[in-house]
Chain A
Amino acid sequence: MLLAPIIWVLTVVICYFFIAKTWWFPPPINDHGLAYDAQFMRTLVVVGVIFFLAQFALGWVIMKFRNDGGRAQYSHGNNKLETLWTSATAILFLGLVVMGTKIWAGVHFDEAPPDAIPIEVMAKQFAFNFRYAGADGKFGHTELRLINDANGDPFGMDPKDPAGKDDIISASLKIPVGKPIKLLLHSRDVIHNFFVPELRMKQDIVPGMEIPLHFQADKIGVYEVPCSELCGLGHFQMHTTMQVMSEADFEQWKATQLANK
C-alpha cells in the first residue's frame, strides 16, 4: 500500500528540518530568550515524539491490516487503554503549560525593576516612534491637535510644557546593553504589534490602552522590529530597528539627539 510509505517519508522529512534547524530562531540575546528556547525544545521533544509515533503507527496499521479476506477482530474497544492514554496526554499537556508558566510570569506578572529606563512607543500607520524622557525622567504633555508628523513629532508634544523640553523622539529604538528597559506601548490609530525575534517577545499595541513591556538585552547589535499585527495596506512596510549599544554610546547618542533638537 503506497499510502504508508508516503506517510513515513513525509514524517521523516518534516522531522528532519526541525532537527537540522535549516530555518530557525535567531540566537537569543537575554536570559528570557534562553529560558524560552529551553521551553521550546522541551515542547519540541514531546510533540516530536507524539507526532512521529502517531504517524508511524498510522502507517503501520495501514501496512499491516490490509484486507486479505476473512473477518476483522470483533472488538468495541478497551476501557483500560482508554483511561491510560487519556491520563497520559492530560499529564503531558498540562505539564508543559505549568513548565512554561515561569517564562510568561517573567514577562507579564513581574513588574519592571524600579531603575528600568522608560521609553514611550507611539505606533501609527505605518511607523514606530520612540520617546525618551530626558534627564528629568518626565515625559512632556502631548495633545492630538499638536501632532505634526512632517516635523518629526508623531506624539503631539506641547511646547509650553517644560517637562518636554529634554524629551527625545527617535524613529528607531536605541537602548543600552544589560539595562532594564520599560516600554510604554501606545497606538494612535489601529492595532499594531511590537516584536523583536531575538528578544522572544511580542506585544500588541492597542489604541486607547497603555501596555507596559519590560526586558533587557545583553548583546550589542542591531535587531529588526517588524510590525506583527495587521494594520492596513502598509503593514508589510511597518518596520524599525532596535539598536543595543554600550552604555557610553547610548549616553553619547542621547546627548547628540538633544543637541540637534
Chain B
Amino acid sequence: MASPSTHTAHHAPEGFIRKYIFSVDHKVIGIQYYFLGLFSVFLGMSLSLLMRFHMVNPNTVVKWFGTLWPTAAAGGIMTPELYLSLMTMHGTIMVFFVLTTVPQSGFGNYFLPIQIGAEDMAFPVLNMMSFWTTFLALVVMVAAFFVQGGAPLAGWTAYPPLSGAGPLTGPGEGMGQNLWILSIAIFCGASLMGAINFIATTVDLRCKGMTLMRMPLTCWTWLVTAILGLLGFAVLLAAGVLLLLDRTVGTSFFLPAGLYINDHIIADHKGGSPLLWQHLFWFFGHPEVYIAILPGMGVASQLLSTFSRKPIFGYKAMVYAILSIGFLGFLVWGHHMFMSGMNPYSAMAFATLTMCIGVPSAIKTFNWIGTLWGGKIHFTTAMMFALGFVSLFVTGGVSGIFLGQPALDLYFHDTYFVVGHFHMIMGVAAIFGMFAGTFYWFPKMFGKMMNETLGKIHFYCTFIGVYCIFTPMHYAGLAGNPRRYSDFSNVAYLAPVMPLHHFMTYAAYFTASVQLIFLFNLVWSMWKGPKAPVNPWNATTLEWTVPSPPPFDNFAGVHPVVYHGAYEYGVPGAATDFIMQTDPTVVPSSGH
C-alpha cells in the first residue's frame, strides 16, 4: 500500500471546460459516465418499444416511421430488416453503453476512490481519456443508423458469416456493420484504460488502515469487474479487428470456403471458422454478464447491510463468492455454444463449470437474506430497489439452471426462454442495482435529496412492470417461440403465444412510461431537492465522512485513517447503531 503522500495532489482546475468537460476529477468523470448511460438507456429503451410494437402489429402503417426511415419503413410499415437493426442496436447499446458503463464506470469512478480513502484515481488523465473514448464509441455506434443500408442486423453477438461477408448478407451489413465493429473496438480501448485505472487505484491508493478485507463489498466488485474487463475486452478487441479485416481487406479468419450468398459465389475467402468468432466473442461475452451484474451485487450488499442496520452476513464468504464468480466467469463461455456445432464432449465440461458458478451466486442470495434476518429494515427507496434486485436476481438466476444443462438447451436454445432469462438477470436486475445506487448516492453526488414518494411510486410500478414484461417470455419459450423474429405469423404453433406478446407489449409501454417519473425526480431533485446532510443514511463508509458533494480532492487535504470493516452496524455497547470506518472506537467483537 503506497502512503497517500506519495500521490501528488493536484489543484482544482479553473474554468468551465477543464472543470466540467475535459475534467480529470474522478467525480465529474463518474457523473459524465452516468449521464452517458442515462442517454443510452432511454435510447435503447425506445428501440425496444418500437420492436415490441412491431412484433404485435407487423403490418400497421405508422406515418412517422416512414418519415424517420424513408427506405427501411417506406410507406410507414417497418420492414423486417429495420426490426433486426433496432434489435441489434438495442442489445448493443444496452450491454455496452448502459450495463457496462453506469455500474462500473459511473458509480465506480465516483465512489471507488472515496470509499478507499484516495483523493482521485491512480491515473486521472487516463480516466478522462477513457470517458471521451467511450463517448466517441457511442457517437460512432449511433452513426450506424444514418449510413447507407442503416444499422447492422446481425444482432449484438454479430455471428459471421452474417456479419462478416459484407452487404450481400443483408441491408445494414455494409457500412453499418463496419461502424458497429469500429465502435465496439473503440469501446474496448476505453474499457481497457478504465480497467487498468480501477485495478491500480484499488491496489495502490488505499488509505492507512484500509486493508483489502476492510473494503466495502462495492470496492471488491469494482475491482473484480475491472479484472474481468481487462481480460475480456482485450479479447473482444482482437476479435473485432479480425472481423473488420475479414470484411475490408479480404482475410478469412471467420469465413470458410464454399460460400454462396445471395446468388454470388464467394471465391476470395477460404479456411476460416465461424465458430472461432463465437469462442472469442463469448470468451468476452460471458464475463461481460458478470461485468454488468457484479457491481449491482456490491451495491445490493452495501445497501442491505446499511438499511437493515446489520453487518453483512458472511463478509468473507461474499468476498470469496465475488472472486470465484470472477474466476469461473472465464471458464463457462461454451454454454452459449451448446448448439453451435462445437465438440459435444466439451459441452459437458462447460455445463459442469456453469453449475459451479451457480453456487457462489446462491451463496450471495443466502447471505443477503441472512443479512436482512434479525435486522431493523428502513424502507428507503434505495433499499426497496436493493430488495427488488434480490428478487429479480433469484428469478433471473434460477432459469439459468435449465439453460446450463446442454440436454435441456436442446429445446430452449435461441427461444424466448433465453431472452427472458438474460433480461431478468443482466438486464433488469443490473438496472435495479443502478436505481438503488442512484437513490443511495444521489445525495452525495449532487448535494440534494431525491423525492422518496416519487421514488416509491416509480419503484412499485417498475418492479411489477418488469415482471410483467419478462416472465411471460419464459412461457413463450416453453412453447418453443424462437427469438429474433420480427413477425410470428409464419409459424402456426405460435398463435396461442400471441396473447402473451400483446401483454408483454402493453407491459413494456407501461414500464417505459413510468421511467419518466424517475427522470423527473432526478432532474427536479437536482435543483429543488432538500439539501443533503453529510451522512443521510447513517452509513459507515468513507464517502459519508465528507461533504455532499465532496471537495475536489475528496478529503480536503486530510488523510483518512480506517479502523474497522465497512459494516459495523448495531454493535452492542456502541453509542450509535453504526460505527464509521474512520471512528477509532474499539469494536471488541468485530471479526475484521
- B90 close to A (CB within 8 Å): no
Report if A68-B258 is in contact (Cβ < 8 Å); known contacts: A57-B369, A203-B341, A226-B482: no
Within 8 A of B (CB), among A101-147: 101, 103-104, 107-109, 124-125, 144-145, 147
Q: Are A36 and B411 in contact (CB under 8 A)?
A: yes
CB distance from B373 to the nearest CB of A (A): 6
Cβ contacts under 8 Å, A207 to chain B: 161, 256, 258-259, 274
Is A97 a contact of B351 with CB atoms below 8 Å? Answer: yes
A236 to B416, CA, bound (A): 14
Q: Is residue A195 contacting chain B, with contact meaning CB distance below 8 A? A: yes
Interface residue B261 (Cβ < 8 Å from any Cβ of A): yes
Q: Is B79 an interface residue (CB 8 A)?
A: yes
Residues of B contacting A227 in the complex (Cβ-Cβ under 8 angstroms): 482
Supposing A73-B310, A233-B80 touch, asked if A97 and B404 sit within 8 A by C-beta, the answer is: yes
Tell me whether A190 and B311 are in contact in the complex, defined as CB-CB below 8 angstroms, given that A108-B344, A208-B257, A233-B81 are known contacts. Answer: no
A58 to B410 CA separation, bound complex (whole angstroms): 33
Per-position contact with A for B338-377: 1 when CB-CB < 8 Å, else 0?
Answer: 0111001101100110011011001101110110111111
Contact B414–A193 (Cβ < 8 Å): yes
Is B376 within 8 A of A78, CB to CB? Answer: no
A1 touches B379 (CB 8 A): yes
Contact B478 A125 (CB under 8 A): no
Q: Does A76 contact B (CB under 8 A)?
A: yes
Contact of A43 among B260, B315, B408 (CB under 8 A): B408
Which A64-102 residues have C-beta < 8 A from chain B? 65-79, 81-82, 85-86, 89-90, 93-94, 96-97, 100-101
Instruction: Flag if B376 contacts A71 (CB, 8 Å).
Output: yes
Main secondary structure, interface of A, reads mixed
State which of B162, B352, B365, B375 has its C-beta within 8 Å of the C-beta of A230: B162
A230 to B591, CA, bound (A): 53
Contact assessment for A26 and B475 in the assembled complex, using a CB-CB cutoff below 8 Å: no
Residues of A within 8 A of B366 (CB): 81-82, 85
Task: Note all chain B residues with C-beta closer than 8 A to A40.
Answer: 402, 408, 411
Residue of A nearest to B569 (CB): A72
C-alpha spacing A237/B58, complex, angstroms: 13
Task: List chain B residues, Cβ under 8 A from A90.
Answer: 355-356, 359
Judge whether A50 is part of the interface by a CB distance below 8 angstroms.
yes
> Which of chain A's residues have a CB closer than 8 A to the CB of B309?
67, 71-72
Q: Are A23 and B493 in contact (CB under 8 A)?
A: no
Contacts of B572 in A (CB 8 A): 71, 74
Q: Is the CB of A188 within 8 A of B258?
A: yes
Stretch from B163-171, B431-439, B446-454 that touches the partner: B163-171
B264 to chain A, nearest CB (A): 10
A10-B467, A73-B570, A74-B589 known; A237+B490 contact, CB < 8 A: yes
> Contacts A47-B399, A77-B314, A230-B484 hold; do A104 and B377 have CB atoms under 8 A apart?
no
CB distance from A101 to the nearest CB of B (A): 7
Residue of B nearest to A145 (CB): B265
Docked-complex contact A39 and B340, CB < 8 angstroms: no
Q: Which of B98-117 contact A (CB under 8 A)?
A: none
Q: Report the bound CA distance from A127 to B165 in whole Å.
A: 19
Check A24 against B259 for contact (C-beta < 8 Å).
Answer: no
B414 touching A229 by the CB < 8 A rule?
yes
Q: How many residues in B have their beta carbons less than 8 Å from beta carbons of A? A: 119
Question: Within the complex, which residue of B261, B341, B373, B467 is in contact with A211, where a contact is CB–CB below 8 Å?
Answer: B341
In the complex, are the beta carbons of A93 and B413 less than 8 A apart?
Answer: no
B395 interface contact, C-beta 8 A: yes
User: Is the beta-carbon distance between B480 and A25 smaller than 8 angstroms?
Assistant: yes
Cβ of A30 < 8 Å from any Cβ of B? no
Interface residues in B566-592 (C-beta closer than 8 Å to A)? 569-572, 577, 589-592
The residues in A between 221 and 261 inclusive whose CB is less than 8 angstroms from any CB of B are 224, 226-237, 239
Kindly state whether residue A19 has any CB partner on chain B within 8 Å. no
The answer to whether the Cβ of B464 comes within 8 Å of any Cβ in the partner chain is: yes
Nearest Cβ in chain A — how far from B571, in angstroms?
6
A47 lies within 8 A of B401 (CB): yes
Contact pick for B390, options A17, A58, A94, CB 8 Å: A58
Q: Are A51 and B398 in contact (CB under 8 A)?
A: yes
Please give the distance in Å from B337's CB to the nearest CB on chain A.
Answer: 9
Please state if B414 and A65 are interface contacts (CB–CB under 8 Å). no
> A residues within 8 A CB of B492?
224
Q: Does B485 contact A (CB under 8 A)?
A: yes
> In whole Å, how far is A178's beta carbon from the nearest beta carbon of chain B?
21
Chain B 527-554 residues near chain A, CB threshold 8 A: none
With CB as the reference atom, state the residue of chain B lying closest to A43.
B402
Q: Which residues of A contact B19 (CB under 8 A)?
A: none
Is the Cβ of A232 less than 8 Å from the Cβ of B374? no
Task: Please state if A235 and B485 are interface contacts (CB–CB under 8 Å).
Answer: yes
Closest-by-CB residue of A relative to B373 is: A61
Cα of A176 to Cα of B474 in the assembled complex, Å: 33
Q: Is the CB of A75 within 8 A of B479?
A: no
Q: Given A71-B577, A85-B362: A76 and B485 within 8 A (CB)? A: no
Query: Which of the listed residues B260, B487, B496 has the most CB atoms from chain A within 10 Å of its own CB?
Result: B260
User: Are B165's CB and A76's CB within 8 A?
Assistant: no
Encode contact with A along B15-38: 1 for CB under 8 Å, 0 otherwise. 000000000000000000000000
Contact in complex: B405, A97 (CB < 8 Å): yes
Contact of B411 among A1, A10, A147, A202 (CB under 8 A): A202
> Which of B's residues lie within 8 Å of A, judged by CB?
79-81, 84, 153-155, 159, 161-162, 165, 169-171, 256-263, 265, 272-275, 308-317, 339-341, 344-345, 347-348, 351-352, 355-356, 358-359, 362-363, 365-367, 369-370, 372-379, 384, 387-388, 390-391, 394-395, 398-399, 401-402, 404-411, 413-415, 460, 463-464, 467, 471, 475-476, 478-480, 482, 484-488, 490-493, 496-497, 500, 569-572, 577, 589-592
The 3 A-B residue pairs whose C-beta atoms are closest, nearest first, are A208-B256, A108-B344, A77-B314
